[in-house]
Amino acid sequence: MAAWLSRGAPSAGIYAGPVAWLIDTQFNYAAVPWVCAHQVPLIPLFALVMAALSLFGAFLSWRGYATAAPTPRPDSTGAGRPHRFMALMGIAISLLFMVVILLHGAAGLVFHGCER
């Protein structure tokens, strides 16, 4: 597993950020009745966990970017595989969704769930 973490995955951020945002958004809507009844600030805490998941996807994409060769070897069949471009897109997408998740979590600090 350590080799997988050191090698990274170029497209991990493309999937990790949006999936973390999807889970966070669904949890935010589902947890409102419970948060209103118990007055526990659960939404910002869950947002931090999902932001960390999105950041982990950006980390894996960054590792994929760092380990990918800038140009393919002349004798390889991987010519035309855009690993570095996919990794850069993964980093950008994952960081963008991390910011969105943190903004949703900040709204959980302002609104306590019982507004009507």
Q: Where are the alpha helices (DSSP H) in the chain?
A: 2-7, 12-38, 42-67, 83-110
> What are the Cα distances from residue 47, in Å, to 51, 60, 86, 103, 110?
6, 20, 26, 9, 14
The predicted model scores a pTM of 0.85
Identify the pLDDT of residue 4.
62
Identify the pLDDT of residue 114.
81
Residue with tokens 């140009």: 71
Identify the pLDDT of residue 61.
92
80: number of CA atoms within 13 Å, CB side?
Answer: 1
Tell me the domain boundaries of the chain.
Answer: 17-69+81-110
Burial (CB count within 10 angstroms: exposed 0-12, middle 13-18, buried 19+), residue 97? buried
pLDDT tens, position by position, for the chain (116 residues)? 666 667 778 889 999 999 999 999 999 999 989 998 988 889 999 999 999 999 999 999 999 888 877 766 666 665 556 888 899 999 999 999 999 999 999 998 898 778 77
Q: What separation, in Å, do the N-terminal and C-terminal C-alpha atoms of the chain show? A: 48
